[in-house]
Amino acid sequence: MLKLGVNIDHVATVREARYRGLEHGEPDPVAAALICEEVGAHGITAHLREDRRHIQDRDVWKLREKIKTRLNLEMANAAEIVAIALKLKPEIVCLVPERRQEVTTEGGLDAAGSLQALTDTRKKMNDAGIEVSLFIAPDPAQVEAAARIGSQFIELHTGAFAEHYHQKLQRNQELERLVAAARQAHALGLKVNAGHGLNYENLPLLHTVPHLVELNIGHSIISRAITTGLSTAVKQMLGLLENYRS
């Protein structure tokens, strides 16, 4: 079964637009996470950024206390955030690049250029019982690096596929890269997740990518929830995952 991890960052984005700097406010990302779980989401993803632009520290601690599925903490490989993760003990962390000027995470991690630093963090997480995923582009060198680092998962960056979805040639080229990267990762003993830019229109085509374990999707679900409600939005996304055959 292809699993769905719902990213709740943008619930916090809406809250911070009005309640930035306050210890309260709506909507509540933890309440949203519980709704997602209730209707069948297999996990909850949240990105605790260094600049705390959406998810706050109190959110991740409440998530750790409240949710009953799998907590996936997206994070930069930064000393402060590493220390928090080691105390928080999510089931898995996904190490991502982080740039202050970006609206959301753009581009994959340069695992090949950061072997030692990422290996050190991977060891710390694994020693604490936390699995590690690396958010990387579908590039052979990056997949190879992820295996050398010793991560349990990679998360393939599907942004280029999503961006070119309506240009058939480029879309198919990106899809071929994703297929090749998934096969390479599987052969190296890595588990494969995917995410970024996935939505209700482009997700069915991703079914051609083999060995996928989980998709992490946020913006599209939260956007649809504005008109349909969160429960319906999550159920509709889960329905699109049902026919996946690795």
pLDDT, residue 98, reads 78
Active-site pick, 37, 54, 74, 131: 74
pLDDT, residue 7, reads 98
Which residues constitute the domain of residue 39?
3-241
Q: Is residue 206 part of a domain?
A: yes
Cβ atoms of residues 36 and 8 within 8 Å:
yes
Domain count, the chain: 1
CB atoms within 10 A of CB 188: 13
pLDDT, residue 23, reads 92
pLDDT, residue 173, reads 98
- pLDDT of 106 > 70? The answer is no
Q: Which amino acid is at 119?
A: T
Q: Is residue 121 part of a domain?
A: yes
Q: For this structure, is 42 an active site residue?
A: no
pLDDT, residue 107, reads 73
Stretch (H or E) spanning 217: strand 212-217
Q: For this structure, is 164 an active site residue?
A: no
Q: Is residue 119 part of a domain?
A: yes
pLDDT, residue 245, reads 87
Give the whole-number percent of the chain exceeding pLDDT 70.
97
pLDDT band at residue 246, thresholds of 50, 70 and 90? confident
Active-site pick, 10, 37, 42, 47: 47
Q: Which amino acid is at 38?
A: E
Rounded Cα distance, 149 and 203, in Å: 29
- Taking residues 108-129, report their average pLDDT: 97
Q: Is residue 246 part of a domain?
A: no
pLDDT in tens, 173-221: 999 999 999 999 999 999 999 999 999 999 999 999 999 999 999 999 9
- pLDDT of 103 > 90? The answer is no
Q: Is residue 235 part of a domain?
A: yes
Stretch (H or E) spanning 47: strand 43-47
pLDDT, residue 55, reads 98
Rounded Cα distance, 120 and 187, in Å: 24
CB atoms within 10 A of CB 107: 16
Query: What would the DSSP string read from start to end of 147-199?
Result: HHHT-SEEEEE-HHHHHTTTSHHHHHHHHHHHHHHHHHHHHTT-EEEEESS--
pLDDT band at residue 43, thresholds of 50, 70 and 90? very high
Q: Is residue 69 part of a domain?
A: yes
Distance between start and end Cα atoms, the chain: 9
Going by C-alpha positions, the residue among 83, 107, 104, 88 that lies closest to residue 9 is 104
Active-site pick, 54, 155, 196, 214: 196
pLDDT, residue 101, reads 52
Q: For this structure, is 54 an active site residue?
A: no
- pLDDT of 100 > 70? The answer is no
Angle between helices 79-88 and 57-66 (to 10 degrees): 20
Average confidence score pLDDT of the chain? 96
Tell me the chain's radius of gyration from C-alpha atoms.
17
Q: What is the CATH number of the domain that holds 143?
A: 3.20.20.70
- Taking residues 17-46, report their average pLDDT: 97
Q: Is residue 27 part of a domain?
A: yes
